[in-house]
Structure 1
Amino acid sequence: MKLTVIGLAVGLVLGVTAAWGGFGAMAIVALMGALGALVGRFLDGQLDLSAFGAGTRDRGPR
């Protein structure tokens, strides 16, 4: 099983646990599921976050 699927499942379980009921539960579960999927994709090596830190390193001296 890919880590993305495991991350999604963990995020959904955490979301359900954190938001045991109410209308806001749907939004919290969706947010936690998306966060879990992103973490899983990062751990699988399918998500490249190097672009966020490259802005300051690519600049030469002024």
Structure 2
Amino acid sequence: MSVKVFNRIKAVLAEKGKANKWLAEAIDVNVNTVSKWCTNKIQPSVETLFEIAEALDVEARELLVLRKAK
């Protein structure tokens, strides 16, 4: 069973040179939760997605996988 990829949190963390632990501390969540987001096992709520974007200094849409070409 393949995991569908909905978010780019892991990629953006890598681009910013940040670790899962850093993000967990920045938005006050468990590091295991961040790990599950990064592997797309679970997805953050919309509110949390905006918190993640703010912590990483990116637009929230940059954390999502595009499904349709413009």
TM-score normalised to the size of structure 2?
0.27
**Bigger Rg, structure 1 or 2:** 1
Tell me the TM-score normalised to structure 1 length.
Answer: 0.29
More helix by share: 1
